[in-house]
């Protein structure tokens, strides 16, 4: 396996990484971890600057509802709970003090203000880059697939995620495997066409996925094997 881009850090969790968000400064990453076996959800926080795990296995102690990540600022992680499975409009919010993991219920009005703040932050240069997703029926997918094929690799199928950051090109793509699954690959190369990393993230998945990677603070953050978070320095 050709590999010239070693990980900056790697963290493995017991649950599956269901969702990730970054705070409004792009300095901390929060993970929603789910366990189908235990029917549970917990949360973890990672310092992106140091690669250190700040805390993990945090669980919101509530009687009903399934908490999920909503947003985060410099002080609080906001969790959203759907309180009525038959009515998605019924929800409550809780703020977790990041430094102490203390929990307080969050007013809906504050969440609305926070959503506006998040929208404003997303329009600024806070170092966060989400890849483009191209499905197989889009012309851009054919362009990316042909590019991968031109490198002497097998032609991707299904869909892909694509991003360019500085001198780096990052592609998450899929190949068919028997009997009816897909293998998920990550390809990183420079603008000169030199392959820096080509790795199989998952040997067999049932369908094309989203959110496999993103870039924040010059780091490529990748989710692999469902439970592992890996960072590659793009600098």
pTM of the entire predicted model:
0.85
Query: What percent of the chain lies above the pLDDT cut of 90?
Result: 64
pLDDT of 52 higher than 90: yes
Q: What is the pLDDT of residue 55?
A: 96
> Higher confidence at residue 211 or residue 145?
145
pLDDT of 113 higher than 70: no
Q: What is the pLDDT of residue 116?
A: 39
* Sequential DSSP letters for the chain: --B-S--SEEEE-SSEEEEEEE-TTS-EEEEEEEETTTTEEEEEEEETTTTEEEEEEE----SSSEEEEEEE-SSEEEEEEE--TT-TT-EEEEEEETTT--EEEE-HHHHHHHHHHHHHHHTS-SSEEPPEEEETTSHHHHHHHHHHHHTTSPPP-SEEEEEEETTEEEEEEEEEETTTEEEEEEEEEETT--EEEEEEEEEEESS--S-SEEEETTEEEEEETTTEEEEEE--
7: left (phi over 0), alpha (psi -120 to 50) or beta: beta
Residue 202 near residue 158 (C-beta atoms within 8 A): no
pLDDT of 217 higher than 90: no
Confidence of residue 115 (pLDDT cuts 50, 70, 90): low
Q: Share the mean pLDDT of the chain.
A: 87
pLDDT of 118 higher than 60: no
pLDDT of 125 higher than 50: no
Q: What is the pLDDT of residue 145?
A: 98
Task: Summarize the confidence of residues 52-77 as an average pLDDT.
Answer: 88
> Higher confidence at residue 94 or residue 86?
94
Confidence of residue 131 (pLDDT cuts 50, 70, 90): very high
| Domain locations along the chain | 13-122, 132-210
Confidence of residue 109 (pLDDT cuts 50, 70, 90): low
- Distance, in Å, from the CA atom of 32 to the CA atom of 173, rounded to the nearest integer, reads 24
Q: Which strands form 181-190's sheet, in the order they lie side by side?
A: 132-135, 159-165, 168-177, 181-190, 195-205
Q: Which range, of 11-15, 111-115, 182-186, averages the lowest pLDDT?
A: 111-115
Residue 162 near residue 173 (C-beta atoms within 8 A): no
> Higher confidence at residue 40 or residue 160?
160
């Amino acid at each position: 396996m050709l590999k010239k881009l070693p990980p900056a850090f790697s963290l493995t969790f017991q649950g599956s990484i269901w969702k990730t968000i970054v705070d409004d400064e792009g300095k901390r990453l929060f993970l929603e971890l789910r366990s189908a076996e235990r029917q549970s959800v917990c949360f973890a926080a990672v310092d992106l600057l140091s690669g250190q795990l700040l805390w993990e296995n945090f669980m919101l102690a509530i009687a009903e509802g399934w908490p999920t990540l909503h947003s985060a600022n410099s002080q609080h992680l906001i969790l959203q709970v759907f309180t009525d499975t038959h009515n998605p409009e019924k929800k409550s919010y809780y703020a977790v003090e990041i430094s102490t993991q203390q929990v307080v219920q969050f007013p809906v009005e504050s969440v609305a203000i926070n959503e506006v703040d998040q929208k404003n932050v997303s329009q600024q240069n806070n170092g966060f880059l989400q890849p483009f997703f191209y499905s197989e029926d889009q012309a851009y997918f054919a362009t990316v697939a042909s590019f991968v094929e031109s490198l002497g690799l097998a032609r991707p199928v299904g869909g892909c995620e694509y991003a360019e950051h500085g001198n780096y090109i990052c592609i998450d793509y899929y190949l068919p495997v028997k009997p009816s699954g897909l293998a998920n690959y990550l390809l990183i190369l420079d603008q000169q066409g030199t392959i820096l990393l080509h790795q199989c993230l998952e040997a067999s998945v049932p369908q094309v996925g989203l959110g496999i990677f993103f870039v924040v603070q010059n780091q490529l953050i990748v989710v692999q094997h469902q439970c592992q978070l890996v960072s590659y320095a793009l600098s």
